[in-house]
Amino acid sequence: MMTSQHNQAAWLQAGSVPCEPMPYGRPYRLVLLGPPGAGKGTQAELLTRTLGTCHLSTGELFRAAKCETNPSPALRAALDAMHRGELVADEVAVELVRERSRCLCCRGGFLLDGFPRTLAQAEALDGILTDLGLSLDLVLNYEVSLEEVVARLSGRRTCPVCQKVYHVTTRPPRVEDICDGCGAALVQRDDDRPESIRVRMQAYEASTRPLAAYYARAGKLVSVPAVGTPGEILNRSLQVIKAQPSFATWSGQPVGKAGPGD
C-alpha cells in the first residue's frame, strides 16, 4: 500500500509541503508514455502503491490550477488550450516541472505521467535531471487501440477532490457517481468531450508519439500492451521493470488483484 507519507500536495504546491515517502528498495525514476486514455494515471496509481514512488502528473497540476482565483495570463492561456484538448505551451509545462525539482529529487523516486509530451520537453527534462545529478531509469510506453481509447475516455469519471479515476463500466465506484475514497460527487472531465478527444489524439500523434523513438534511441524505452484489466497491465509493467538489469534489487511483489474494480 502507498504510505501515508506520500503527499500529493507537495507536487501540486511546488514542494512547499513536506513529503516523506518510503521507497520499497531503490528509488525508481520512470516516465509513463501513451495516448490519452491509455490508462497512464490508473497504472501510476497502482505502481505507486507497489513501488513506493510518487505520482507526478502535469495534467493534475493544470486541473488543480483551474481553482486559482487570479490566474496569470500564461496560466489562463494554458487552461484555455487544455479545455480545447490542445497541448499547453512547452515553456509553461517545463517551468511547472522545474519549479518542482524537489519532487524529482525525492528519495522515493518518481513516476512522471503526462510529461514530457514533446521533444522540447524531453530535452528539457534531460537537462533538469542532469542538473540534479539524476537520470531516468525507464520509459514505459503503453500501447492501445484508438477504439479502446475512445471507450475508456467516454466512460471516465474523476473525483474532483482526491483525483481518483473511475470508469462507469470497467472500474465503477461502489456507489454510483460517488468517490469511494472521499465521498465527493464524481465528474466527467471537460476535455473528455468528443471534440476535445479528437484534438488530444491529434496532438498525441503529432507531438508525443515521436518521443517513443527518442527514448528508444536512448535505450530507455519498453513497450507495454495496455489491454486487459488494470491489474493485468500492472503485472505486465512490473515484469518489464523487474527484467531491467539496473533493477536487480527490486523488492516489491506483483499483485494479483490491485483494488476494487480492477
Residue nearest to ligand AP5 (CB): 59
| Other beta carbons less than 10 A from residue 150's beta carbon | 16
- Grid cell 475508456 — which residue? 152
The contacts of residue 110 (CB under 8 Å, 6+ apart) are: 28, 29, 30, 53, 54, 56, 103, 104
Q: Give 20's Cβ-side CA count (13 Å radius).
A: 1
Site membership for ligand AP5, residue 93 (CB under 6 A): yes
Site for ligand AP5 in 35-74 (CB under 6 A): 36-42, 57-59, 62
**End-to-end Cα separation, the chain, in angstroms:** 15
Site membership for ligand AP5, residue 221 (CB under 6 A): no
Strands in 183-248 per DSSP E: 221-225
- Selected catalytic residue, list 117, 152, 157, 236: 117
What grid cell was written down for 177? 457517481
Residue of 19, 46, 88, 234 interacting with ligand AP5 (CB under 6 A): 88
Q: Let me know if 189 is a catalytic residue.
A: yes
Least distance CB 69 / ligand AP5 (angstroms):
20
- Selected catalytic residue, list 84, 98, 189, 193: 189
- Only one of the segments 13-21, 82-90, 210-218, 236-244 lies at the binding site for ligand AP5 (rule: CB under 6 A); that segment is 82-90
Residue of 103, 104, 165, 221 interacting with ligand AP5 (CB under 6 A): 165
226 and 142 Cβ atoms separated by less than 8 Å: yes
Q: Give 114's Cβ-side CA count (13 Å radius).
A: 22
- Residues in contact with ligand AP5 by CB under 6 A are 34, 36-42, 57-59, 62, 81-82, 85-88, 93, 114-115, 117, 121, 152-153, 155-156, 165-167, 170-171, 191, 200, 229-230, 233
